[in-house]
Every structure is written in C-alpha cells, then in structure tokens.
Amino acid sequence: MITTFELYLDRPDELKLREAAPLPALQANEVKLKVIYGGICGSDLRVYKGLISYAKYPIRPGHEVLGVIVEAGSAVSYPVGTRVAVFPNTFCGTCEFCQSGKTNICKHKQPLGVAIDGVFAQEVVLEAKYVVPVPDAMANERAILIEPFAVTVHALKKANITKGTTVAIVGGGTEGLLSVALALHLGAAVTVIDINPAKLALAKKLGNVAALQPHEVKDQVFDVVVEAAGVKAAIEQAMQLVKPGGAMIALGITGDPVNLYPIHIVRSEITIYGTIIYTLKDFAAAIQYLNDPAFYVDPIVSMIVPYTGYRQAFADALSGKYAKIVLDFQD
C-alpha cells in the first residue's frame, strides 16, 4: 500500500498535510487521478481564512487541478494515462438551468474545496463527467490555468471584444491578468487598474498595456470594463469608466453593498453583465486558446512549489505579491 498525502483543514487557519485514507473502489462512472499540479486560488485562501460563509469544515481545499487518469471505471471511455483538467463545480444536469445549458447557475451546484472536499491531494476520485482531457502538446504550466481561465473566457464573451475595442480591467489578480491576456489576444487596447504596483508590473509583462493605480485614472472611458477586484471601491470606479453604450462585466464577488447611479446607467445605456464560472463549453474554449502558442500567459504562473511547501505557498499567495502559485503534487 503506497502512502499518499492530502491537504486538510479541520477548521479555518489550521491547514495541514496528512496521510490520505485509502480511496474507495471506483464506481463504473468514476476515474482515479494522480494529481500533477494544483493551483492556489483566492477562494482557497478564503476557505483557509474562514471568510466564506457557506464553506463547510472539515474540508480538503483545492479546485484547480491537473492530473492523469490512473484507473477508470467500467463505463468510462477515457483510457488510463489521459491527462485531464478537473471541472470543479458539480451540476445536476436536470434542473431548468442545466436543461438550458447553463450548468454554471445550476440550483444544486457545489464548488469543490468549499462546500465539498476538494482536490488538493496526490490522488483523487471523481465522476468522469468532471474531467476534461488536455491536448498532449500543452505544457502542464499552461494546462493548470484552464480552470481559472475558463472563468475569463465565459466573462469576456459577454461583450464583443475585437480589434481596437477599448477595455479596462479593474483588478489585476489571476482573473484580471487572464482577462488582460485574453483582451490583448483579441486585439483590444487594454488598460489595467490595480492598487498594487506588483500586479501592474505583472500585467505589463503580458504585452502593451496601460497600467494605472486607481487615482491615476483621469477622465478616460472604455467600451468594456471588466471588474475583477470584487471590492466596493473598484466596482464603483469600474461603473464610472464605462463609455456611453458600453458594458461592464461584473466578475469580482462581494456581499457588500455598492453605490450605483441609475441616472448614469440609464442615460448612458450601460449594460452590466453578471458572470459566474463557466460551462464545459468554456472549458473547451479555454483549452483551445491555451493550446495556441501565440496566446501569451507565461507571467501568470509565478511559481511552482512541491506540495510539502504548502505553508509557505499559502503565505506567499496571501501576500498579494504574486500571480498564480502552483503546488506540485508529484513525488
């Protein structure tokens, strides 16, 4: 019996590495993955810090995972050895939203690593419907971005971003940086706004962007504004930056109330799009973009560290100095 390890939170703040219990025998529709990489996401940090009201403890965190199928149930068509990304939000497939293809707003959706055990472990078992094969040519370092990037793909397709569209991205964390990368790839003229100069420096590494702190923004307006900070001040600023006839894509999440001015929204015919996660179609589109070597995202993975270095990795992720920090779960 080979010992494998997993990260675990008995309660907020008490993250530990422990020996994993033996996995149950596979059901016909399940696969067992040997995990390659796990990306640390803002929501993992919030589960760690006890900041998500619907999080359930004890819990194994993690939802951004790349792995390889090492065992497949009898009804699974993927062969052993297939490298896969994990689709980490369950959906029922039968509610009115799932029936219309909107599995991202399924009534019974459960996010892995928040409400049910996640995937920060060396081995995990999942239903095969939640794994998506990754093309052989795609490096692990790009493939680990599939999940967070699928969020961006779903969001940015709400508005028509093409060559010359002016796009402001408020918040340059992982989602903001991925939005910068995609908007640049689509030919947009991109401005990124963040309070953190380290994030602005990272955004500049992605290409020709204007990078500003919030107070440096003068009276510019933009065809499309992507709000990817999820804080009151950023959302309020984002609204002010939308050109008449333009759109704001609300990606950042907060439960705090914010001030909106109907006179501005109504008179200027501004559209606000809410956007939440993705569907399997967005995963497919994300894979297609990431499989194109001309799509430049390299600076978005800041470091890849062995899973045993999880404490420092979570501390670094909390520091706000880095883009994506990835745990390597291989021995």
Ligand X SMILES: NC(=O)c1ccc[n+]([C@@H]2O[C@H](COP(=O)([O-])OP(=O)(O)OC[C@H]3O[C@@H](n4cnc5c(N)ncnc54)[C@H](O)[C@@H]3O)[C@@H](O)[C@H]2O)c1
CB of 247 to ligand X, least distance (A): 15
| Contact status: 174 vs ligand X (CB under 6 A) | yes
| Contact status: 231 vs ligand X (CB under 6 A) | yes
Q: d(Cα 132, Cα 128) in Å, to the nearest integer?
A: 8
In the complex with ligand X, the residue whose CB is nearer, 231 or 285, is 231
In the complex with ligand X, the residue whose CB is nearer, 122 or 176, is 176
CB of 233 to ligand X, least distance (A): 4
Fill in the DSSP letter of residue 182: H
Q: d(Cα 238, Cα 273) in Å, to the nearest integer?
A: 13
Q: Which does 114 bind (CB under 5 to 8 A by kind): ligand X, Zn ion, none?
A: none
Q: Which does 231 bind (CB under 5 to 8 A by kind): ligand X, Zn ion, none?
A: ligand X
Q: Which does 98 bind (CB under 5 to 8 A by kind): Zn ion, ligand X, none?
A: Zn ion
Helix, strand, coil percentages, rounded to 5, for the chain = 30, 30, 40
Q: Which does 318 bind (CB under 5 to 8 A by kind): ligand X, Zn ion, none?
A: none
List the structure tokens of 59. Answer: 């819990």
Instruction: Name the segment binding ligand X (CB under 6 A); options: 85-93, 121-129, 133-141, 270-278.
Output: 270-278
Q: Which does 92 bind (CB under 5 to 8 A by kind): ligand X, Zn ion, none?
A: Zn ion
DSSP bridge partners of 211: 192
| Contact status: 248 vs ligand X (CB under 6 A) | no
Q: Which does 106 bind (CB under 5 to 8 A by kind): Zn ion, ligand X, none?
A: Zn ion
Residue nearest to ligand X (CB): 173
List the structure tokens of 212. Answer: 């500003």
Burial 177-202, CB ≥16 within 10 A → b, else e: bbbbbbbbbbebbbbbbbbeeebbeb
The separation between the first and the last C-alpha atoms of the chain, rounded to the nearest angstrom, is 15
Count the residues in the chain. 331
- Is 301 in contact with 144 (CB distance < 8 Å)? yes
| Contact status: 194 vs ligand X (CB under 6 A) | yes
**Amino acid letter, 329:** F
For residue 303, give the 3-state DSSP assignment.
strand
**Binding residue for ligand X (CB under 6 A) from 4, 122, 275, 279?**
275
For residue 33, give the 3-state DSSP assignment.
strand
* Interacting residues with ligand X (CB under 6 A): 41-42, 151, 170-176, 193-196, 199, 214, 228-231, 233-234, 251-253, 275-277, 320
